Amino acid sequence: MIVCQQDTAVVILSYNGWKWHELFLPLIVAEAHSGYDVIVVDNASTDDTLQRLQDAYPAVQTLQIQMNRGFAHGYSEALKHIQAKYYILLSSDFEVTEGWYPPLVKAMQLYPNLAACQPKIRYWRERELFEYAGAGGGFMDKYGYLFCRGRIFFDIEKDDHQYDDDIEVFWASGGCLMVRADLYHKVGGLDPEFYAHMEEVDLCWRLKNAGYKIGYIGGSTVFHVGGSVISYGSPQKLYYNFRNNLILLLKNERASKLIWLFPFRMCLDGVAGIRLLLTGKPKETATIMKAHFHFYGALGKWLARRREIKKLIHHRNTSGIYRHSIVWNYFIRGKKKFPELDWKPDPLRES
The gap between the terminal CA atoms of the chain, to the nearest Å, is 34
Supply the DSSP symbol for 81: G
Q: Quote the pLDDT of residue 237.
A: 85
Contact 329, 133 (CB under 8 A): no
Strand partners, 139: 147
Q: Quote the pLDDT of residue 228.
A: 53
Q: Quote the pLDDT of residue 314.
A: 85
Which one-letter amino acid corresponds to residue 8?
Answer: T
Supply the DSSP symbol for 130: B
**What is the spatial distance between Cα 321 and Cα 145, in angstroms, rounded to a whole number?**
10
Q: Quote the pLDDT of residue 235.
A: 82
213-224 and 114-123 as β-strands: parallel, antiparallel, unpaired?
parallel
Q: Quote the pLDDT of residue 152.
A: 97
Domains of the chain are 7-224 (3.90.550.10), 235-311 (no CATH)
The CA radius of gyration of the chain, in Å to the nearest whole number, is: 20
Supply the DSSP symbol for 314: S
Which one-letter amino acid corresponds to residue 203?
Answer: L
Supply the DSSP symbol for 221: E
Q: Which of 299, 307, 233 minimizes the C-alpha distance to 262?
A: 299
Q: Quote the pLDDT of residue 349.
A: 84
pLDDT tens for the 351 residues of the chain, in order: 999 999 999 999 999 999 999 999 999 999 999 999 999 999 999 999 999 999 999 999 999 999 999 899 999 999 999 999 999 999 999 999 999 999 999 999 999 999 999 999 999 999 999 998 899 999 999 999 999 999 999 899 999 999 999 999 999 999 999 999 999 999 999 999 998 889 999 999 999 999 999 999 999 999 999 865 555 567 888 999 999 999 999 999 999 999 999 999 989 899 999 999 899 999 999 999 999 999 999 999 999 999 999 988 988 999 999 999 999 999 999 999 999 999 999 999 876
